[in-house]
A and B are shown apart, each in its own frame.
Chain A
């Protein structure tokens, strides 16, 4: 997405702070994968992988990879205590019936109602849907992570998504390189601003109304 490593890590670190002890979590590919590197101390979560692992652990040390123990991105993982395997239908049963507490997904656009577009740009080569629709529509909490604007400098947070949707009204929290924005029944609420950006910059690069109920309570992240 043309975003620097430091910026990607900062978004991942901020997303990791949404993890609460005991949650069952599914991380998408890209920035979301990095969230696992920033789990706050004292927080234990269960990682769900849609290829059929409930309880995936960290990457193995080099030389100890098992080709038959990989995450949904095809990279080796280990198992946490209490882990189990299942087939892909069961892995998606867990998602579809609402057993996943939180997912972190990359996004192309998010609307002010929390609509998510993240799988196809008409006219461009599509990679496919993967598990994005189930996760977006069914996880209890959906955190969308992305650059605040696209390569052309256009806002990715919009009144309405221009791109085809992955799921309607599903996103709960948007974390970008510029800000943290909650999707509430009253609309988008600006909660935090990332350094070095200013309130004016965040507002001007967002194509939707941002509510700021208590300006003095906005957190400025270093």
Chain B
């Protein structure tokens, strides 16, 4: 089975108004060629589902900056002022979830569950309007699973079956997102022959992946590179 496709072929799956789930954390691990292709195709009215809205010029943030999204289901938009501005102007609806809850909602969608029970956010405004259930005397919120029409992920390596290996902290939401798309597209920096990936190292089994396209690396300047170039005060140290 060969799932290797061209960017043009997979872009036909991504249409106006679709729910698009994406891997990445601050743009790290968001597939650049796919974001570029979606931009160039002119896809609009997207519902974006992912950890954050990147930076204005990095990752999924590029789609937000260009006004291609009408809704974001996410945990953080702080690094992309365009998202905040659009939220204030009313052109972007933003649904915030705690990061770990968002990860598990996506995972639940990917593993065929209806949702999760979680006590994070109990006793805060996050519980408003949500179902609750009590187990062994503890209150949990009912958080429905999340799926999407299309999921896009970044891998360092993929084989033609769609087995994926990620790149260090670029893994982040990618393995969860890869399972939760009705169609999942993986952009890989390297596509290797079937049988050449060590089965012990494969993180996402190819069964969840519908297409693999070749990547060409990132086409943006990272936030820390920009900060170094502009001579801003010391970058955050350590973790």
Contact = CB atoms under 8 A, between A and B. Distances in A.
Interface of A: 26-27, 29, 33-34, 36-37, 47-53, 56-59, 62, 65-77, 85-89, 91-93, 95-96, 125-134, 137-138, 164-168
Given A65-B224, A67-B222, A73-B236, A51 B120 contact: no
30 contacts: A50-B100, A51-B25, A51-B169, A53-B168, A53-B169, A56-B238, A65-B225, A67-B222, A68-B168, A69-B168, A70-B25, A73-B236, A75-B223, A85-B166, A86-B171, A87-B171, A87-B173, A87-B174, A87-B175, A88-B99, A89-B100, A89-B106, A96-B118, A127-B76, A128-B94, A131-B99, A133-B120, A137-B119, A165-B125, A168-B124
A73 B26 contact: yes
A67 B236 CA distance: 15
B120 A70 contact: no
Interface residues of B, number: 60
Contact of B120 (A49, A74, A77, A96): A96
Given A37-B237, A58-B237, A70 B98 contact: no
Nearest to B125: A164
Nearest to B105: A89
A128 B28 contact: no
Interface in B163-214: 166-176, 203
What 8 A-B pairs have minimum CB-CB distances, sorted nearest first? A92-B100, A36-B238, A127-B78, A74-B26, A128-B76, A47-B239, A33-B236, A133-B98
B57 interface: no
Contacts of A72: 25-26, 239
B84 A49 contact: no
Contacts of B176: 87-89
Given A68-B170, A85-B171, A128 B218 contact: no
A137 B120 contact: yes
B76 A125 contact: no
B168 A134 contact: no
B103 A128 contact: no
B150 interface: no
B28 A51 contact: yes
A125 B88 contact: yes
Nearest to A76: B224
Interface in B219-239: 222-225, 228, 235-239
A87 B173 CA distance: 6
A128 B120 CA distance: 15
From A29, A73, A88, A96, residue with most partner B Cβ within 10 Å? A88
